[in-house]
Structure 1
Amino acid sequence: MRIKSNATLNSAVLATSKILGAGLLLAITGCSSLNPFASKPSTRNQPAALTEVKPTATVRTVWSERVGKAGQYSFAPAVVGNDVFAAAADGTITRINAATGRSIWSINAGTKLTAGVGSDGDTIVVAGEKGTVLAFDGNGKQLWKAQASSEVLSTPAIGQNVVVVRSLDNRVVALDAATGARKWFLQRTAPALTLRTSPGITIVNSTAFVGLAGGRLLAVMLNNGAPRWEVAVGDPRGTTELERIADISGSPVVAGRDVCAVAYQGRVACFDAASGTPRWAKALSSDVGVAVDERFVYAADERGGLSAFARDGGTSIWRNTQLANRRLSTPVSSNRLVAIGDYQGYIHFFSKEDGLLAARISTDGSPILAAPVSAGANFIFQTQSGTLVAIAAE
């Protein structure tokens, strides 16, 4: 994870013991983008060694497909119906059958990419260099190209024939899904320092739930961009700009009447999706998103602890610290297990009920940064080296 300054500063890289302890690097405007996984972990926070697992679940690789390297960015797969869509930094976009792993088509967007993939099955949207937004139809034919106000790292979201894009300057823009014409935009002030990550956007019915730098969660009407409500998940605190970083991490998750999110140096919290009224909040700092199912909310903190909270009330159910400092991905929940990736490409499976490690499987050895997804009974993970893998767990 990287941090970007919005102030005009000389090219430099800042580091503090607190930030390095969380496995972060700071990138200042004017610097080339940095990959924290390219450097060795701090000797003060060595990743926990993996211990032998006594499996209580059976996991296996159903299929594996190469889709292109992510480079310094994070590309999350999108599952729509029976298909998985994936993108890579070199411009590759691939459509794959979710059950078999068979490639349906693969194209090149004609430019290097920084974010993706957003899809509703009919339209596929990615972000290219310098804020270019590109849309393709279900067969991979380009539909339109639009321009955002700055670089886009957050995956574009599609719903109700609207594409919603958030750029690094904290501007949210809605584009017509058919033409790319701008429908509306809104601007929020960007803090002096922000995490160079990708706060996500989730569209449900007529509302877009947008994670913002500064720890704010915003609900807006899709038809006109009118804010429905705005709440703080992480309130900036401290005497320095570094201490005051409190950005939304990952995508907000809507489940029933709840919308849940987490912030770096903030909280994990759930709110009423219609009104923004807080349901509960717990102190927790995370640089990845949450997972939510019928009973629990799962969050991985910046130090590698995985926690489960009761969705109704936020009671702490369990916390597992066996993966300390292993730079965990967003968790994903399915059936009786919750799965999470780490910086060496391992996928770990935990019991939902008690948080005990139930199984482990390896991928290609590269970090898993992108949020995993579920496709039927399978977990879908995308690695930084470009492996898209479907895992079945029983």
Structure 2
Amino acid sequence: MTRRVSRWGAACLVLPLAVWVSGCSLFGGDTPKPKELQALTSAGTARLLWSSRVGSVEFPLAVAASGDRFTVADSSGTVVALRAQDGGELWRAQVGDKLAAGVGSDGRFAAVVTRNQELVVIEAGQVLWRKAMKSPVMTSPLVAGERVFVQAVDRSVHAFDAQDGRKLWELARPGDALLLAHPGGLIPYKDTLVVGQGPRLAGVDPLRGTMRWEANLANPRGTNEVERLADVVGPLVRVGDLICGRAFQSAVGCLSAARGSLVWNRQNAGSVGVGASPELVVGSDALSRLTAWRTTNGESLWTSDEFERRQLTAPLVVGKGVWVGDFQGYMHWLDTATGKAQARLQAGSSPIVTAPVALADGTVVVVGKDGGVHALRSD
């Protein structure tokens, strides 16, 4: 029997061939109240630039930023490209089915995966092609080099020609008794595709699908399969030659993609990805306590518990600040030097469900569970 563990389900579902368990239900018990937000004493400010809206988001959405646009999607299968400057709609498409994963885009092609396990690729608002996937997908596709890369829940990786849907290669990994139904890691590095494979990161030749290197992000320990579950979760972050990320409920660390070797890792039990810059890596643990480590060597820089149990998103490091969203629709801006909150604004009334993403000009976009798309900037 194959078993999958997910933090997106609300209950345990027992199926003939799979068991899906929510991340929350792994631990059980009553949930303590989130920490109340404290009054800010700093002089920092954050501005809401514009808001737009799609339908509700009930799946692991990633916002795709490219050039001067963002591409988003909702659960119903609507995919929308928006101008970063003002939120103006560039195009809108409907794929005809509810979504399980998305969206990936290089600015020209956009890709999503439906609940019926179909990969759908769109160009300028028109569906170009569809391909059936053999396994469920929860990780947003990666579109790069006129190719579409898809990572399935079983952590197999598939490559397709972006223009015509021709399958180029498939890289499967040995079956595990326990799989994590959670967005995994998929990121480009120069001429290498870096993917999460269980607790490891693997460098893959994007043209042939052959393995170039493997390195452990975490070394799972435990007496049973659940305790040893330490799959890499997204988003991964590239900082120069380093790829930094998280292994589920296990560790945070950085690897050298040039050498294919671990630089450092630190124990930290969490389930969402990290943010990073050349100076620091920031991650949120299972209790929403934020920790910063020095990017080059993993030295601990600071820890903040002012957002305990506020169900934080993955952080985003922009300049001298760290952006992170919470379950009440607040976006928080922290000082990278101290971890102290400098500013906050309520982007919407529903939980922020995407990791913040940014363009070169500092515009940051997030999406709420109710479909609110919000662009903001710190001063």
Q: 2:9 touches 2:22 (CA, 8 Å); kept in 1?
A: no
1:68 aligns to 2:55 (yes or no) = yes
- Report the residue type matching 1:65 in the other structure: S
2:218–2:265: 8 Å Cα contact kept in structure 1? no
Correspondence for 2:274 among 290, 293, 304:
290
Query: Which residue of structure 1 lines up, in the alignment, with residue 188 of structure 2?
Result: 203
Question: Hey, what does 1:49 align to over in structure 2?
Answer: 36
Match of 2:352 among 348, 358, 368: 368
Flag the 1:237–1:130 CA change in 2: closer, same or farther, 3 A.
farther
CA positional deviation for 1:195: 2.9
Partner of 2:142: 157
In the alignment, what sits opposite 1:268?
A: 252
Matched, 1:6 2:19: no
Q: Give the distance between the partners of 1:108 and 1:33, measured in 2 at CA.
A: 28
The answer as to whether partners of 1:149 and 1:171 remain within 8 angstroms in 2 is no
1:54 maps to amino acid: T
Corresponding residue for 1:120? 106
Match of 1:335 in 2: 319
Give the Å deviation of 1:56: 2.7
For 1:115, the aligned partner's letter is A
- Distance in 1 separating the partners of 2:115 and 2:31: 36
8 A Cα contact 1:253 1:292, kept in partner:
yes
| Aligned twin of 1:109 | 95
Identity in percent: 30
Q: Which amino acid aligns with 2:46?
A: V
Q: Would you say the 8 A contact 2:216–2:262 is kept in 1?
A: no
Amino acid at match of 1:385: D
TM-score (norm 1): 0.89
User: What whole-Å deviation, never above 9, does each CA across 1:160-219 have from its counterpart, x for those lacking one?
Assistant: 22211011122111111111111111111343333321013112332111123x322111
Q: Which amino acid aligns with 1:105?
A: W
Q: Which amino acid is the alignment partner of residue 194 of structure 1?
A: L
CA distance in 1, matches of 2:348, 2:41: 22
Question: How far did 1:35 drift?
Answer: 7.7
**CA deviation digits over 1:42-92, x for unaligned, max 9?**
535332122222243111110011022112x12111111011100111011
Matched, 1:382 2:367: yes
Deviates more, 1:291-300 or 1:79-88: 291-300
Per-residue deviation at 1:349? 1.1
Are the equivalent residues in 2 in contact too, given 1:23–1:327 (CA < 8 A)?
A: no
C-alpha distance in structure 1 between counterparts of 2:335 and 2:179, whole Å: 34
2:121·2:129 contact (CA, 8 Å) conserved in 1?
Answer: yes
2: CA distance, partners of 1:295 / 1:243: 32
Change (3 A) 1:42 1:364: farther
Q: CA shift at 1:369, angstroms?
A: 2.6
Counterpart amino acid of residue 38 in structure 2: T
Q: Does 1:219 align with 2:203?
A: yes
Root mean square deviation, CA, Å? 2.4
Find the counterpart in structure 1 of residue 216 from structure 2: 232
Deviates more, 1:29-38 or 1:263-272: 29-38
Q: Distance in 1 between matches of 2:8 and 2:309?
A: 8
- Structure 2 spans left out of the alignment, 5+ residues: none
Secondary structure of the corresponding residue to residue 116 of structure 2 = helix
Task: Provide TM-score, normalisation by structure 2.
Answer: 0.92
Distance in 1 of aligned mates of 2:344 and 2:366: 14
Partner of 2:183: helix, strand, or coil? coil
Encode CA deviations 1:322-368: one digit per residue, 9 max, x unaligned: 11111111101112210101122211111011111111111222222
User: Which residue of 46, 51, 59 corresponds with 2:46?
Assistant: 59
Deviation at 1:37, TM superposition (A): 9.2
State the 1:33 CA deviation.
Answer: 7.4
Query: Could you tell me how far apart the structure 1 residues matched to 2:141 and 2:31 are?
Result: 37
Conservation of the 8 A alpha-carbon contact between 1:344 and 1:366: yes
Q: What residue is the counterpart of 1:171 in the other structure?
A: 156
Structure 1: which 5+ runs fail to align?
Answer: 9-13
CA distance in 1, matches of 2:125, 2:19: 31
- The match for 1:184 among 152, 155, 169 is 169
| 1:91 partner amino acid | G
The SS at the match of 1:48 is coil
Q: In 2, Cα distance between the equivalents of 1:45 and 1:186?
A: 42
Are 2:302 and 1:318 equivalent residues in the alignment?
A: yes
